[in-house]
Structure 1
Amino acid sequence: MADFLDSFPHSSSEPGFLEKFWTVMKAQACGCADALIRDLFAVNICNHPDFASALASLISTKLTDRAMSEQTLMELVTSILKEDPAITRAAASDIVATLQRDPACPDLATPFLFFKGFHALQAYRISHHLWKAGRRPLAYHFQSRVNEKFGIDIHPAARIGQRITIDHGTGIVIGETTIIEDDVSIFQNVTLGGTGKNSGQRHPIIRQGCLIGAGAKILGHLEIGAHARVGAASVVLGNVPPRATAVGNPARIVRFGDMDQDFTNYQI
């Protein structure tokens, strides 16, 4: 596995990343030996000429409803991916990150087809594009459909980087002014929320490389430092330093960097 992942370019913006990603994922999908599931792989991956086409089809199939047909959604998403190819590269990098971090993920095709955290994140990327373009009712429609379909609520104005892993996903809430940098892992039932402030920056900043455990509540305009960890079910109301580990309700620092120490009285 390590040799396989090491063969990818280190950044999704490097030449050849998307082409290699698509070649490998398509080979994995089209090599499925189970006749009962083979058509699923064909319709969603093998029959498409490139990853952008497969991604547009996936999002459209997942989010169609009586107000917006699958074909209408397909045309919309396809046009957005052509206008902003960085979305497609970010989606591919999210899959590679999931394969790297999740022991339950056996290949590149599995999160694309079956992980709703990935599906919700890519639909968010489309809604964020619409939000920035001033098409806010349509962006809200995407947010609403993702919430209905997957039980994940990501405001389209939130700013989220790439190589993001949303594991399981159920119950995640990400507020309007949240900033999530690259290489972040988030587990189920996490809330990145506000504290009632009416305007301005009122949600957390999650710096690069953080891990947010299941059920954690991070509330208000605060910062979780780079490569920090927030333990499951923790309630965080203040800044967490880089590389620290915060646990509990209210959260306290139990580890700074690579040094285990007792910080029982360090409330945040």
Structure 2
Amino acid sequence: MLTTHADFVEREALVRHEQLPSEIHRSGRSAGAGDAVDLWQTMRKEARLNADMVLIGLIRSCILDQQDLAGGLARLLSSKFAGEMVPAQVLEALMRDFFLTQPGAVETVAADLLSIRERDPAAVDHITPFLFFKGFQAVQAHRVAHWLWQEDRKFLARYIQGRASELFAVDIHPAAKLGKRIMFDHGTGIVVGESAVVEDDVALLQNVTLGGTGKEGGDRHPKVRRGALIGTGAKVLGNIEIGEGAKIGAGAIVLKSVEPYTTVVGNPARPVGKRHTGLPSLTMDQSLPAVDYVI
């Protein structure tokens, strides 16, 4: 039977009186934990304002019935990743363990969400990317897979990677290293290789590949430094460095390192225009310099 609006209002009245601190918060807050707490309260308000009756089960389960951001994300991802042979309850417990044992993990999630809200005009609130943006969800799933990889639970990490690839069309090797405030815009078709590094504030658009150049092993994938923006369909290949604040044009094939604060385009990629001074990932400015000459 469909839940009525009266049922929802009654349930939410009960929820408002159940604001007990979660086990995560009782264990002690690291720097920035207040941001995660404040963000979760904002998201609960947004959920009440957007409580479409068709989605009431989703909103209740992943937001209104959860005491904190960590619990909400664990519920959301576990429900997506579960299958007949891997129950949702087991995955949810695993993801809650991740947040309990990794200092600062929930603050990183909050930083990612807040950054998306600031940079993406399609993110009209915070619950929209949380519930519906597969780029955000794929990054958070990777954080769990990376933890498992470091804990030498590599087979389970591979399961998370594989399910994320199936669900989101985003394939991030569990060993890859991702920073904070990462934005995978749209997400579809993004591939990140095993030895890749993606630092803070980086933005990748759809169909970006951070890959190798062949069958060689070892350290073979790109290192993308802070604030770089990599445009739609760009392929960045090999153990090269994309400098801080660099901008990679859509469709570029990048086989050599890119200097900081430099825009490159083409196949093979070449520098164009004057060197810029800001971090393009923060403005998401994908336009090319007005002056077109090789640096």
TM-score in same-fold range (> 0.5): yes
Match of 1:29 in 2: 47
- The Cα RMSD (Å) is 1.6
Please give the alpha-carbon distance, in whole angstroms, between the structure 1 residues aligned to 2:84 and 2:242. 41
Match of 1:257 in 2: 276
Change beyond 3 A, Cα 1:67–1:61: same
1:66-88 deviation line (CA, Å, top 9, x unaligned):
23110110111111111114222
Please give the alpha-carbon distance, in whole angstroms, between the structure 2 residues aligned to 1:67 and 1:37. 26
Deviation at 1:145, TM superposition (A): 0.7
Match of 2:195 in 1: 177
Q: How does 1:1-268 map to 2 (within 5 A)?
A: 13-32=31-50, 34-196=52-214, 198-255=216-273, 256-258=275-277, 261-264=291-294
Please give the alpha-carbon distance, in whole angstroms, between the structure 2 residues aligned to 1:36 and 1:75. 27
8 Å Cα contact 1:242-1:257 kept in structure 2: no
Please give the alpha-carbon distance, in whole angstroms, between the structure 2 residues aligned to 1:13 and 1:58. 25
Deviation at 1:199, TM superposition (A): 2.2
Deviation at 1:15, TM superposition (A): 4.9
Deviation at 1:138, TM superposition (A): 0.6
Change beyond 3 A, Cα 1:33–1:130: closer
Which structure 1 segments of 5+ residues have no match? Answer: 1-11
8 Å Cα contact 1:32-1:38 kept in structure 2: no
Aligned residues: 254
**What SS does the corresponding residue of 2:53 show, helix, strand or coil?**
coil
Percent identity between the two aligned chains: 45
Deviation at 1:160, TM superposition (A): 0.3
The one-letter amino acid of 2:293's match is F
Deviation at 1:260, TM superposition (A): 5.7
The one-letter amino acid of 1:57's match is R
Structure possessing the higher radius of gyration over alpha carbons: 2
Please give the alpha-carbon distance, in whole angstroms, between the structure 1 residues aligned to 2:49 and 2:239. 47
TM-score (norm 1): 0.90
Please give the alpha-carbon distance, in whole angstroms, between the structure 1 residues aligned to 2:183 and 2:120. 9
